[in-house]
Amino acid sequence: MKPILAVLSDGVQSDDLFVAREVKLPFFSSEFHFHEECQLVHIVKGSGKRIIGDLVDYFESGELIFLGSNIPHVWHNTQEQTNEDAPEPYAHSLSIHFNPAKLLMHLSAFGNIRKVESFLTKAQRGVELKSKSREQVVKLMYQILQLDGLQKIITLLEILNIMSSDTEYSLLASINYINYYQYHDSKRMDQVFKYIFDNFREDISLNTIADVANMNTFAFCRFFKARTQKSFTQFVNETRIGYACKLLGNKEASITDIAYECGFNNVSNFNRFFKVIKKVSPRQYRSQILS
């Protein structure tokens, strides 16, 4: 089956080369989805869980992510961080969407585009930009919102040049990741992911999560593994470890308290899963981020 092509925006004309927007909401509300268009996202304000391909991780204000074509993704706020009555929106982002085939067709008229093509191919795993490149691109994203005409297009090309020339990025999805999602999977998987994100600190039984998906446990296990390329238990543990990474930034919190706060029933299990997923112990990870 063809991958789902999500509707990205209202009012975007078919002859638009790209669309840039600023979003301010009480919480990030998109569903788990993917689309042909590439997407550049800067999280100005907000934190929670995100999925990019087969990566389950915690996001915070300041990150800059570039997504290539058809990589499934979602940014999701946890309940305690969502307040619809807040005086200011908690979720604030900048984004740019463009069709890569259309852009490359136009660029090819001006010379060699292999560097950009190579970067867009890598970005099908998702790219996190860091260091000086992130600062430069974010500055240009703010500028592009105020521009129109040729200057707006020139600014997009500046962004592409910075990203494709950067050597300090991180690829997010695993090297063997393949998008196995089909059109009718999207809503069911979104419900499953959101339930996990809202309840990962509790013990989520297989019967409970199968009921969320409206499936029996055997069918759910096959369904979930085929689409995420990992077991349900592995996915939940990765969600918990992602949250633990955030908590480890607080040097006053004990590792034992963090283990229980993340939903692990003992510290040895926490240490074991943390080392499997992050390749270092929780204590080593804390030393790295606080050094």
- The torsion region of residue 46 among left (phi > 0), alpha (psi -120 to 50) and beta comes to left
Residue 229, both tokens: 């390329």
Residue 226, both tokens: 């085929």
β-bridge pairing 91-98 and 38-45: antiparallel
pTM, two decimal places: 0.83
Q: Mean pLDDT, to the nearest integer, of 149-158?
A: 94
In this prediction, residue 255 carries a pLDDT of 95
Over the stretch 225-238, which tens digit does the pLDDT of each residue have?
988 889 999 999 99
**pLDDT-based confidence at 29, cuts 50/70/90?**
confident
State yes or no: pLDDT of 89 exceeds 70: no
Q: What percent of the chain has pLDDT over 90?
A: 68
In this prediction, residue 261 carries a pLDDT of 95
Mean pLDDT over each residue of the chain, to the nearest integer: 88
In this prediction, residue 284 carries a pLDDT of 95
State yes or no: pLDDT of 87 exceeds 60: no
HSE-CB of 126 using CA atoms within 13 angstroms: 26
In this prediction, residue 88 carries a pLDDT of 64
In this prediction, residue 79 carries a pLDDT of 47
For residues 79 and 243, what is the distance between their CA atoms, to the nearest angstrom? 14
**Residue carrying structure tokens 């009555």:** 85
Residues 6+ apart with CB under 8 A from 152: 20, 144
Is the separation of the CB atoms in 229 and 54 below 8 Å?
A: yes
Q: Average the pLDDT over each of 26-35, 194-203, 282-291 and give the range with the smallest value.
A: 26-35
Residues 6+ apart with CB under 8 A from 151: none
- The torsion region of residue 283 among left (phi > 0), alpha (psi -120 to 50) and beta comes to alpha
**pLDDT-based confidence at 206, cuts 50/70/90?**
very high
**pLDDT-based confidence at 83, cuts 50/70/90?**
low
Over the stretch 40-79, which tens digit does the pLDDT of each residue have?
999 999 988 899 999 999 899 999 999 999 999 999 885 4
Over the stretch 242-268, which tens digit does the pLDDT of each residue have?
999 989 988 899 999 999 999 999 999
For the chain, the distance separating the N- and C-terminal CA atoms, rounded to the nearest angstrom, is 48
3-state class of 183 per DSSP?
Answer: helix
Distances in Å between the Cα of 106 and the Cα atoms of 14, 101, 112 are 15, 9, 12
**Residue carrying structure tokens 């069911």:** 188
State yes or no: pLDDT of 185 exceeds 90: no
Please give the residue that has the higher pLDDT: either 181 or 191.
191
Q: What percent of the chain has pLDDT over 70?
A: 90
